[in-house]
Amino acid sequence: MSAALRTQVGIVGSGPSGLLLAQLLHLAGVDSVVLERRSRDYVLGRIRAGVLEQTTAEILRRARVGARMDREGLVHRGVELCFGERTQRIDFSPFGASVTVYGQTELTRDLMEARDALGGKSIYEAEDVAIEGVTGGAARLRWRKDGEQHLLDCDFVAGCDGFHGVSRRSIPAAELRTHERVYPFGWLGVLADVPPVSHELIYSSHERGFALCSMRSATRSRCYVQCALDDDLREWSDERFWDELRTRLPAEAAAKLQAGPTIEKSIAPLRSFVAEPLRYGRLFLAGDAAHIVPPTGAKGLNLAARDVDQLATALIAHYRDGRDELLNVYSDAALRRIWRAERFSAWMTSVLHRFPGRTSFDRAMQIAELDYLVGSAAARAAFVESYAGTLAVTVGAAT
Ligand SMILES: Cc1cc2nc3c(=O)[nH]c(=O)nc-3n(C[C@H](O)[C@H](O)[C@H](O)COP(=O)(O)OP(=O)(O)OC[C@H]3O[C@@H](n4cnc5c(N)ncnc54)[C@H](O)[C@@H]3O)c2cc1C
């Protein structure tokens, strides 16, 4: 066994949560070590989220990792909603709101490069990470790498290791409540080097099921169709995917759809999940380790960024000022924000998808919801507030 390393904050997971937390702490002079189960290339290769709220973009700029996002990200000031025979744009401009389309893969690369530039320590391919001592005077992380056992002593542990990570599982079941809804369908997503159908996202609620046309750049499309959870990817040829997507779009958008070979194709389940509390002694949960939203509202990555911003602020107050109030309210304050995003994501999922056993009344209710949304200035304002993340939230504060 090698000699124990020592740091202030041990961070488990090198996804966006772990890397952004490490960056914010480093800029404030708080030392951390990031432990990641996978290889660096594997983490960089994952295709996931792409829509950043305004507040997320601001956090990234403050973390000094926003330069490429500002150069290459696509700023959107609206989305298109299609339902029945209608296509309606929701304009964010009257509310002074926007979102930035910038792939999670690119953001992860920026965060890794920033950490390298600052000389921060990240350990990849750390196997069997175990979290110990969080209810005592100091915490310890233990892992295996290259056949050897390693130890890291730290004041706090940030559990940023996603839904399947070890951090949440390290909290005794009696101390944790979980709330979960698993949706009876999935999203079949593809990435392809074809120009997007539209310069903004198109959300379609079609009789055959939901569809979404998104993008990663002016030449790369990211598109999804609702599918059955037990669908076999091998039965979804590229041709079948594009045909199905075309069917679920209004005629004008369908005519603009360019099919092409897909670079990536996968089926993701949809889930709503919240664990509470987010603190167990010296262990704090953040990002997907603490909660999951269905991707319909594009909230997962944004929630993660806000969690770690809040956690970083609290940890910095501990080290800089010897104040623990923000650490003490982290869980309650974050959960209020998280439940609001859960509400919005579950609502968007419920109005846009085809649920098994749906009746004509259920469908009419969906259309009425969408009709109200596009027809009412108050409903549009509420939608934009949640979608673009402009609800007044003071960074690091208890709201
Ligand atoms: C297929 C898919 C598609 C998605 N699409 C969208 C989208 O369109 N919009 C959106 O907003 N969100 C989307 N999300 C959600 C978004 O990607 C997540 O909310 C975001 O990645 C959360 O970041 P995180 O760092 O908290 O967790 P993760 O990105 O999951 O990172 C956790 C890290 O911890 C590591 N880890 C796990 N276990 C251990 C362990 N035991 N020890 C050490 N390290 C460990 C993992 O390898 C990983 O690198 C999607 C998620 C998935 C899975």
Is the Cβ atom of 312 under 6 angstroms away from ligand 1? no
Is the Cβ atom of 37 under 6 angstroms away from ligand 1? yes
| DSSP H or E segment with residue 110 | helix 104-118
Q: What is the mean pLDDT of the chain?
A: 96
Residue nearest to atom 50 of ligand 1 (CA): 48
CA dist 339 and 296 (Å) reads: 15
Is the Cβ atom of 99 under 6 angstroms away from ligand 1? no
Mean pLDDT value of segment 313-334: 98
Residue of 46, 111, 288 best suited for mutating to test ligand 1, as the one with most atoms within 8 Å of CB: 288
Q: Please tell me the predicted confidence (pLDDT) of residue 394.
A: 41
How many residues can be counted in the chain?
A: 399
Apex 10 CA angle, 102 and 333, nearest 5: 65
**How far does the centroid of ligand 1 lie from the alpha carbon of residue 367, in Å?**
32
Q: How confident is the model at residue 392 (pLDDT cuts 50, 70, 90)?
A: low
Q: How confident is the model at residue 364 (pLDDT cuts 50, 70, 90)?
A: very high
pTM, two decimals, is 0.95
Contacts of 52 (CB under 8 A, 6+ apart): 60, 69, 73, 99, 100, 101, 102, 107, 301, 302, 305
CA-to-CA separations, 358 to 211, 224, 278, in angstroms, rounded: 17, 21, 36
206 catalytic, yes or no?
no
For residues 12 and 162, the answer to whether their CB atoms sit within 8 Å is: no
76 catalytic, yes or no?
yes
**How far does the centroid of ligand 1 lie from the alpha carbon of residue 288, in Å?**
6
Q: Please tell me the predicted confidence (pLDDT) of residue 397.
A: 38
CA-to-CA separations, 142 to 3, 10, 123, 172, 260, in angstroms, rounded: 11, 11, 12, 18, 46
| Partners of 69 in beta bridges | none
CA dist 200 and 212 (Å) reads: 11
For residues 278 and 240, the answer to whether their CB atoms sit within 8 Å is: no
Q: How confident is the model at residue 49 (pLDDT cuts 50, 70, 90)?
A: confident
CA dist 359 and 344 (Å) reads: 23
**How far does the centroid of ligand 1 lie from the alpha carbon of residue 42, in Å?**
12
How buried is residue 283: exposed, middle or buried, by Cβ count under 10 Å (0-12/13-18/19+)? Answer: buried
How many Cβ atoms are within 10 Å of 343's Cβ, its own excluded? 14
Selected catalytic residue, list 76, 206, 318, 353: 76
Q: What share of the chain is helix, strand, coil (3-state, %, to 5)?
A: 40, 30, 30
Whether the pLDDT of residue 278 is over 50: the answer is yes
**How far does the centroid of ligand 1 lie from the alpha carbon of residue 301, in Å?**
8
Q: What phi, psi does 285 have (nearest 5°)?
A: -95, 145
Is the Cβ atom of 295 under 6 angstroms away from ligand 1? yes
